[in-house]
Chain A
Amino acid sequence: MKVVIEEDKCCAAGQCVAAAPDVFDQRDDDGIVVLLTVHPPDDLAEGVRDAVAMCPAVAIRVEQ
């Protein structure tokens, strides 16, 4: 699994951090998403898919 984020779209809702805290964080000075790992291990895949579903700005996508 490869995670791709579009920073320009990010609205800093923080939902990805809620869904997969080992994969996503928020930048301290503006809350924009920080990708902690581009290729998360399989056991984090469900959280990543939740993050994709919960991102209101549609700023996260997954490539196989």
Chain B
Amino acid sequence: MAEKVADSEVSEGLPKYPSPRAARCPFAPPPELLELRDTGKSVVRVETWDGTTPWLATTHAAERELLSDPRLSANIGAPGYPHTTEAMKEHSAHMQPSINNTDGAEHSRWRRMLTSSFTRPRMQKLRPAIQEITDDLIDKMLAGPNPVDLNEALSLPLPSLMICELLGVPYEDHAFFQEHAGATNARFKTAEQGAETTRVLREYIAGLIEAKIDQPGEDVLSDLGERVKAGDLLMEEAAPLGHILLVAGHDTSANMITLGTALLLENPAQLALLRENSGDPKAVANAVEELLRYLTIPHLLARRAVVADIEIDGETIRAGEGVIASLPAGNWDPAAFPEPEKVDLTRKASHHLAFGWGPHQCVGQQLARVELQVVFGTLFRRIPTLRLATDLAELRFKEDSQAYGIYELPVAW
């Protein structure tokens, strides 16, 4: 209760977070967010949906500093943690410790159960398989109706097939898990809806792990099953890990493919450059880093609770307060990326924050990179006449989801 009073005392006149994007440039971060960054203060207090007043970090340097600082905790149950949704806030009270909500050595233990499956050398070896799936999906797209929704034809099936293969999830279940992943990421769901979709997906994953304990394969869920069988891990701990990987492993990449395609179609000179260089893996890889920077899919992250006072840029952030490091603001910081509003596929952008920063940075980032490099290196080469089949203004952008994207992208050729 005391915390609530304090919030209302300081919230008078504070900027609201998040603010909406400008309709005419839906690929850019919200104008008010960039104005906050331009105030010259790298951390400012904001008021969020539930009336709480966490700090918002908006510069590349401050975000890197804060997200690497052990005085910030990823524990969503810690006092002051700035929750994204009502459902998350409700859920935080009975959240089991796992990879995404622990710190320090405990977090390392969880993380290292998964990292062997997603190393860069391993992901590079998947490139031929990812190329084959991409070519196959584009063949099907070209043989099917024109126009078509790119999400259905390419953006969702490619990363879904790959994460299914890696985890050992049957792809036949994709309609089921894609729907629940969308529900997991929705911002305006009730606490009950959030709890229900989590329960359903975890039961599904637990069932798969049970089956793999009896009949193991070469996949992540089998590895987790082995740990459960050996008594190193409880099923209640293994299922959330599988759940996180399944949701994060396809929904984010899918949004990047769709948004990136729309952005490139709106920037013909950059698209021509990409198409000319599609045979040069380095140029394509560089282009993907710039698309990641420019679009920053996890547009409402990263969030932390402060566990011990921190001094930054002349401000004291106190224990029990929350911090939101705005990844889009950091990725559009002119101090780190000159003329950030320009898409420049030749710029050096690999120090962007699109996969987060600090020890919690995305486990699946090297998989996502290979998927995006293959897709953007192949799609426009295979279909040089690809174009939007609708006006940009008609598209429904996912402001209401934790992962930014476009609900449907009709394309023609």
Chain A interface residues toward B at CB < 8 A: 8-9, 11-15, 17-19, 25-32, 50, 53-54, 56-58
> Interface range on chain B: under 10, 10 to 19, 20 to 34, or 35 or more?
20 to 34
4 nearest A-B pairs in the assembled complex, by CB-CB distance: A31-B115, A14-B120, A12-B115, A56-B361
Contacting pair A9 B359 (CB below 8 A): yes
For A17, the closest partner residue in chain B by CB is B120
Q: Given the complex, which residues of A lie within 8 Å of B363, measured CB to CB?
A: 12
Q: Given A11-B359, A12-B111, A13-B361: A57 and B68 within 8 A (CB)?
A: yes
Question: What's the least CB distance linking A1 to chain B, in Å?
Answer: 20
Contacting pair B365 A14 (CB below 8 A): yes
In the complex, which of the residues B112, B120, B123, B358 contacts A56, with contact meaning CB atoms closer than 8 Å? B358
Q: Given A11-B111, A19-B350: A56 and B121 within 8 A (CB)?
A: no
Question: What's the least CB distance linking A51 to chain B, in Å?
Answer: 10
Q: Is the interface of A mostly helix, strand, loop or mixed?
A: loop
In the complex, which of the residues A18, A31, A53, A54 contacts B112, with contact meaning CB atoms closer than 8 Å? A31
For B120, the closest partner residue in chain A by CB is A14
Cα–Cα, bound, A57→B366 (Å)? 16
Q: Given A12-B119, A28-B116: A56 and B111 within 8 A (CB)?
A: no
Q: Could you list 5 further interchain pairs (A-B, Cβ under 8 angstroms) beyond the known A13-B366, A31-B118?
A: A13-B355, A18-B366, A32-B112, A50-B350, A56-B356
Q: Given the complex, which residues of B lie within 8 Å of A9, measured CB to CB?
A: 359
Contacting pair B358 A57 (CB below 8 A): yes
In the complex, which of the residues A14, A31, A32, A53 contacts B351, with contact meaning CB atoms closer than 8 Å? A53
| Chain B 40-68 interface residues, beta-carbon cutoff 8 Å to A | 67-68
In the complex, which of the residues B67, B115, B350, B358 contacts A18, with contact meaning CB atoms closer than 8 Å? B350
Contacting pair A12 B112 (CB below 8 A): yes
Cα–Cα, bound, A55→B183 (Å)? 32
Q: Given the complex, which residues of B lie within 8 Å of A14, measured CB to CB?
A: 118-120, 123, 365-366
In the complex, which of the residues A13, A19, A32 contacts B365, with contact meaning CB atoms closer than 8 Å? A13
